[in-house]
Structure 1
Amino acid sequence: MRQVIEKLEESRIREVANEGLGREGVLKFWFGESDEVTPAFVREAAMASLQAGETFYAHNLGLPELREALAVYTDALHPGRGAPHWQPRLAVTSGGVNGLMLASQALLDAGDEAVAITPVWPNLLAQPRIMGARLRCVPLKVQEKGARAGAWVLDMDALLTAITPTTKLLILNAPNNPTGWTLDRAQQATILEHCRHTGTWILADEVYERLYFAGDTANGAASSFLDVAEPEDRLIVAHSFSKSFLMTGWRLGWLVLPAMLTPTMGKLIEFNTSCAPVFVQRAAQAALKRGDEITPALVNHLRVCRDTLVPLLLAIPGVTLAEPKGGMYAFFRLEGHPDCLDTAKRLVREAGLGLAPGSAFGQEASGWLRWCFASLDPARLVQGAERLRQWLDQQP
């Protein structure tokens, strides 16, 4: 086995989840998904496809009908060029994580340098390492004082210094899992212009683009690199049906990339998964067609969940937390509990509360915990916060 694979760390989130196996009554907030079932009309579209016998291979890049629908969707969020501009730049993938891995495979050779902004979802750090790339991390910094104490912010100078002509790829995720950190359009333009000068590709994980609460953009979504980039820029943007369309288990995503790279991506998909299942793509078509029945209601509900949980956590002594502007996570620090992995395991065993340890997302997040607040019933969040408070009260 390749040494780099042997050295990969197992998921610390899974490690905590395994602690809860067989335990009754654990409130589980460790994974990044809503506990709301995919809407019935999406499931029915998949069943209709299977009943129609659509059980064969599809185009590597995705069903033409789905790519057309994605082009319309993309142009609605990032208007100005028209849907026909986007369709040649789209590749359907077997999940967002598959799309991100495909991008790393397409761009990174062994020994190449990649830069990543952390804390971040651990898969984004593992993928360049799997390719044999040299990974440099630029950590966000915690704002310690003021109204936004606990917010994670980008040191732009540190990032631009880290990206040099030897940097093949910049990897970033905003809105960010786990911190809720977001980029504004001016910051994206600054990063893009710098990467143009250094010849660096940008891989932007924007799967939480629609899960945005700040309300400071015309379309209600977080600012995207697609709003500032030219079609030929060295930019790949990854999306997924998982979060905004309540389809985590369906494993379907897509990439927006320069048109000149699309045929190459089709070849790469052939040697990975060949294609996404047709019945899953039909479900995605239904989700896009009636997306206004899914995503806005989901965002409104997540706002209720966030506004339920965050004040309860802030009322607990020793908690540092800033209200997230995007995503589905409350990321908070517990004073006096620096070993977050041990804390997370103890919370499962002793309080029946399942959270993700911050160190899973980068060592700079040691002492922090991630709470996925995407709960169908906000009362579970109230119950969980009370369990945390009671557990802390019992500590010496």
Structure 2
Amino acid sequence: MRETIANLPGSKIREVANAGLGRDDVLAFWFGESDQVTPEPVRQAAAESLARGETFYSHNLGLVELRAALRGYTSALHGDPGDDRIAVTSSGVTALMLAMQLLAQSGDEVVVVTPVWPNLPAQPAILGARVRRVALRPDAAGAWRLDLDQLLATVTPATRVLLLNAPNNPSGWTLSRAEQQAIVEHCRRTGTWIVADEVYERLWFGSGSICAPSFLDVTTPDDRLIVVHSFSKSFLMTGWRLGWMVLPRGHLDAMGKLIEFNSSCAPVFVQRGGLAALADAEASVPALIGHLKTCRDTLCAALGALPGVRLATPDGGMYAFLQVPELPEARDSLAFAKRLVAEHGLGLAPGAAFGDEGEGWLRWCLASRDPARLLQGVERLRSALRL
């Protein structure tokens, strides 16, 4: 076994979840997924595909129809990306790994803005790249902020890739359009690639737009930019493992080769489900966002009413990132999260799962079909904190 793999830390989110497996009394908010099932039209499309016997390989880059539908979907949000820039992948996380395989090799420098979902910095590390972290910092109210000057000073001509996730998991932090423009102009000067994880772009509660700011809005088709998306969050398709990416012109053939050597292609019946999801997107996605906004407002108001709890209402994503009144256990968020499961039946993700920057914090997935379930969780947290 490679030493890098042997030393790779396991998921602390999974570690907490495993402590609660088999218990039906746990209110689980640890994973980044809704407890709502995938809409029936999507499930029906996949079932009909299977009934037709569509159990064979597709093109490495995805069904022609799905790629065309994704081009139309992207065009409605950000303008037409142009021909031959979209690749379909077996999940968003696979798309991120493929992007790293395309760009980074052993010894390359990759800069990552943290705290962040642990899979993102792990992927370049698996490839032997050197990962440098630039930390967001929480303000007094609990809103996480980027020191843009620090980030730009860290990204130099020696930086092969800048990896960004915004809206951010776990903090809800989102880049502004002006920050994105400054980052793009700087990376053009340094020759640095940007890999933008924008899987939460539609889970946006800010005013003036139906999605969060995207790097696609401030770049050209020839910029060194790969934007990664997923059907998981906005379309309630976490278990389907379907994603896509937008690449610069001229890179699609190379990505097709990488997909061949990793997974060959996404299953056809899963892609048919993706087509159905896109066909209903402008009805289903706004309805989902409206529901998530209710969940967000319900949860954040209840948590904010607990004495000493620190959090900011996020503008994007599907998480509340909170700091609880200081207890000995809370300085070790993993141990505290395990105690919440064992003693109070409440499943949250420990902040340490997202890097040292998140230690002492907890992530709460707010995507619940019933907001009352969130309030039940808050009462269990109140009991744990003895408030």
Give TM-score scaled by structure 2 length.
0.98
The one-letter amino acid of 2:314's match is: P
The Cα offsets for residues 162-184 of structure 1, whole Å up to 9 and x where unpaired, read as 00000000001000000000011
Q: 2:236 aligns with which of 232, 236, 246?
A: 246
Identity of aligned residues (%): 64
Structure 1 unaligned residues grouped into runs of 5+: none
- What are the superposed Cα offsets for residues 79-108 of structure 1, whole Å, 9 maximum, x if unpaired? 2xx3xx434100000000000000000000
Query: For residues 244-393 of structure 1, what are the structure 2 equivalents within 5 Å?
Result: 244-336=234-326, 337-393=330-386
8 Å Cα contact 1:16-1:345 kept in structure 2? yes
> SS at 1:382's partner residue?
helix
Query: For residue 70 of structure 2, what is the aligned residue in structure 1?
Result: 70
1:293 to partner: Cα distance: 2.6
Secondary structure in structure 1 of the residue aligned to 2:201: coil
Q: Select the residue among 90, 113, 129 that pairs with 1:94.
A: 90
Instruction: Please give the alpha-carbon distance, in whole angstroms, between the structure 1 residues aligned to 2:378 and 2:167.
Output: 24
How far is the alpha carbon of 1:252 from its aligned partner?
Answer: 0.3
Is the Cα–Cα contact under 8 Å of residues 95 and 243 in structure 2 kept in the other structure? yes
Match of 1:113 in 2: 109
The answer to whether the 8 Å contact 1:67/1:87 transfers is no
Q: How many pairs are equivalent?
A: 384
Partner residue in 2 for 1:37 = 37
Runs of 4+ in 1 over 6 A off after TM superposition: none
SS at 1:211 equivalent: coil
- Give the Cα–Cα distance (whole angstroms) in 1 for the partners of residues 338 and 90 of structure 2: 32
Match status 1:187 vs 2:187:
no
Tell which deviates more after alignment, 193-202 or 292-301.
292-301
Q: 1:318: Cα distance to partner?
A: 1.7
Q: What CA distance in whole angstroms lies between the structure 2 residues aligned with 1:301 and 1:227?
A: 27
C-alpha deviation, 1:259, in angstroms: 1.8
Matching residue within 208, 218, 222 for 1:232: 222
Q: Distance in 2 between matches of 1:38 and 1:23?
A: 24
Map of 1:12 onto structure 2 = 12
In 1, the alpha carbon distance for the partners of 2:57 and 2:69 equals 20
Q: TM-score, normalised by structure 1?
A: 0.96
Whichever residue aligns with residue 151 of structure 2, its letter is: L
Q: Give the letter aligned to residue 183 of structure 1.
A: L
Q: Residues 285-329 of structure 1: CA distance to partner in whole angstroms, max 9, x if unpaired?
A: 011011123211110000000010001111111211000000000
Which SS does the other structure have where 1:168 is aligned? strand
Paired AA for residue 364 in structure 2: W
Contact 1:70–1:87 at 8 Å: present in 2 too?
Answer: no
Instruction: Verify the 8 A CA contact 1:68 1:87 in the aligned structure 2.
Output: no
Q: What runs of 5+ residues in structure 2 fail to find an aligned partner?
A: none
Q: Which amino acid aligns with 1:37?
A: V
Deviation at 1:2, TM superposition (A): 0.8
